[in-house]
Structures are given as structure tokens and as C-alpha cells.
Structure 1
Amino acid sequence: MVERRTRKQTATRLTAEDWTAAALAAIGRGGLAAVAVEPLAAGLGATKGSFYWHFANRDALIEAALQRWETEHTDAVIAMVEAQPDPLTKLRTLIAVVIESTTIPDADSIELAMLATADHPHVAPVLARVTQRRVAYTAELFAGLGLPAEEAQHRALLAVSAYLGHAQLAHAAPQVVPGTDAERGRYVDRIIALVTAR
């Protein structure tokens, strides 16, 4: 979440990262339509001149925000999972992390905003690339458990679909998904049991 800055705080020049963080938060709140220079500048306590110092136009900001989303919500998650010692622990970590992300304000709403604007010319290639990478990586984890390539691919599609469905439920009806850490832990265990069953 981007905090409103006071005039004194803006004496330090805003960075491109400040603007992309604000744009990504705006996407989470209201989709691509919420990425507008003047409201973002006001929220950051800055002027439009600060924006144009870093970006040629709104499209450039949207592209940078989408790149940030890909990095934070896919690249960073995969790097964290890869630090685990074995395929089953990696798979459990991946599922736990993505299920937990639906409890973080704006995290699932950004994902859902991406899906809602999947045909937008800036969003479509990023969303396609992210989705393909997520499915391929998850399939690698299943293959690491000894499943044949075709079966690993099927289970990866199932796991990614389950995450997207969970994100939608958590956003639309949070009372129907596990609410406590303990409940989520049991839920993740059940998902792992189902998707790894032989």
C-alpha cells in the first residue's frame, strides 16, 4: 500500500519505483482505469513533473507496473520456492505462499484486475507470459516428484486453476475460505494430498 507523503517528504525526489508501486496499488483498487497521473501524483504528494521525469507517458508507467507485478508475484515467488530442499517441499511452499497471498490486501485484487483486463494490449502479453511460466514451473515440480511429463502438466494446470479459483473466492466471499493460519495449513495439506495422489 502506498502511503501519502507530506510536502516535506517529497523534498527527496520520487523514484520510478515509487511511481510503479503507486500504479500497481491503483490497479489493485480499480484496475487499469485507476492508473491516472494526476491522482497518483496527488497520492504521492508530488507534481506531474515528477512523473514525467521518469516516464514518457501513462502507457510507459503501466508497462513498468506490469513488469513489477511479474517480478514480485512470479519471479520472487519462484526464487523463494527454489530455496527449498526437495520437490515436495517446494510444491508445498509454492501452494502455501500463493494461498497466503490471498490474505494480503491488494495482492489478490491485482491478480484479479490483470485477469479482468486480459485482452488489454499491455496486459495480454504479460499475463500470457506469467501464466505460462507459472504452469511450466509447477509442472517441473510435479515432474520432480516422478510424474510423467504429460501428467505433471495436467496437475500443474489443476494447481494453478485451484489458486486462481481460490483468489476469486477470497476476494468475492472471504468467509468461505480458510481464515486462520491453522485452517490454511490444513487446507494446503489437503491440496497437496489431492494433487500428488497416485
Structure 2
Amino acid sequence: MQATQTEDRQTRLTRDDWIDAALRLLIDSGVDAVQITVLSRNLGVTRGSFYWHFDSRESLLDALVHQWRSRNTGVIVDAVSKANTLDDGILALFAVWTDHRRFDPALDQAIRNWARYDDALRARLKSEDDARINAVAAMFQRFGYPQPEAFIRARVICFTQITYYALDIAADETDAQRMSYLEAYFRCFTGRDINPGTASAYRNILMRGARNS
């Protein structure tokens, strides 16, 4: 009976199941912990099941990087590229970073830790950071900021958020505290005041999301 249950589970597992399990290991324990034997044990299957979906551990690691790129960079680029006003663009960026179903800060930090010891990944990380910054800079330019000011403001915003996650500042702040900083953050990042009605609507949306989460 046990053998049959294991065989059934192996046939049900998908490529995404392996990727999700590997992402959890990467986030919790680092890239060195992402091993086929460990994953097989955690998923309750044999090592052979792994090779239905991946040629090697390296192909799995490539899939993890792809998942990070599409999840964490793609959502930022998409958010700022659709903004109709500067207020909407900055708040869309804030909304992405505060919704961990869209942007995964733990995964972002895990990739950055991994890149410290992997030159190829470090180059890919720089490319992704550049893509995020360039997208935000392009938004600033659309709303009248000249270069290099648009680029520098984009760097300040993006690197501030990376540091915010790296230092786990959120652990020492309540939602109410973070919300109270909205106008000050907006003024600091843009040099302008946010429209009061836009700020109020944004707070209401976040509060509804927090109640429903």
C-alpha cells in the first residue's frame, strides 16, 4: 500500500510543485540546501520523480531564478508602466511592495544572498535591478522629470526598498505607522505633495485589503 501511495504521489507532482518546494528551501535555508534528495524527502517521493521534470539540479536552480524574475521584477515594471499620473505610479509601486502575494521580499532577499557567492547570478541580479530602476525612471520622465534626476530618484526609491527589506524594518513598525508616513515618503521621493484625495483612497484600499487578508 505504501509503495502504491508513493507512486501515485509521484505521478501527481507537477513541475510547479518542485519549484514551489525548492523556493521554500531557498528562502528558509539558502541555495546550498536546495538538493534533490532533500526535496524528494520533503515531498515524500523518490529522486527519480525529480527527473520527470528537470534534467539536473542546475536546471531547477535556473527555474528558481526565472520564477523570481517574473514575479518580482515583472510586477514592478507592469505597475509603473500603466500609471496615468505620478501619484498613481508611485502608489502602484507602494502597493506592489506591500502586497507580498505580488512581490515576494523573502525571495528577493534569498536571491541576493545567493548572488553573493555566484558571479553569474550577481550579473543577472544587476540586470534585474537595472530593469526595475529604468522602469521607474521612465515613469518619472513621462511626468516631467529630466535626466539624470529621473534616474537618481528611481535609484533612491528602489534601493531604499531593498534596504527596508534587508534590515527587516517592517518588523518594528505597525501598519498604522507605515500608513502615517505616506505623504512624507511621497514628498521625499518625488519633491511634490500627493493629492489628498488620492492618498485617502489609497489608504482605504489598503485597509480593506488588510481586513480581508
Alpha-carbon distance, 1:82 to partner: 3.7
| Deviation larger for 145-154 or 106-115 | 106-115
Q: Which of these residues, 174, 187, 211, is aligned with residue 193 of structure 1? A: 187
Structure 1 residues 7 and 60, CA, compared in 2 at 3 Å: closer, same or farther? same
Residue of structure 2 in register with 1:57 after alignment = 56
Q: Which residue of 1 aligns with 2:174?
A: 179
Percent identical among aligned pairs is: 27
Counterpart Cα distance in 1 of 2:174 and 2:7: 40
Q: Higher relative contact order by CA 8 Å / sep ≥ 6: 1 or 2?
A: 1
Scaled by the length of structure 2, the TM-score of the pair is 0.76
Give the Cα–Cα distance (whole angstroms) in 2 for the partners of residues 11 and 31 of structure 1. Answer: 25
2:76·2:132 contact (CA, 8 Å) conserved in 1? no
Query: What is the letter of the counterpart of residue 107 of structure 1?
Result: D
Amino acid at match of 1:190: A
**Gap runs ≥5 in structure 1:** 1-5
Distance 1:175 1:128 in 2: 27
Amino acid at match of 2:111: M
CA shift, 1:184, in A, is 2.7
In structure 1, how many angstroms separate the alpha carbons of the residues matched to 2:44 and 2:134? Answer: 42
1:118 to 115, 119, 122: 115
Give the count of matched residue pairs: 186
Runs of 4+ with deviation above 3 angstroms: 6-9, 80-85
Residue in 2 that maps onto 1:3: none
1:26 lines up with 2:20 in the alignment: no
Instruction: Check whether the contact 1:24–1:65 (CA below 8 A) recurs between aligned residues.
Output: yes
TM-score (norm 1): 0.82
- Structure 2 residue runs of 5 or longer lacking an equivalent are 193-213
Larger radius of gyration: 2
**By how many angstroms is 1:69 displaced?**
0.7
Instruction: Give the alignment's Cα RMSD to 1 decimal.
Output: 2.5
* Residue 148 (1) aligns with residue 143 (2): no
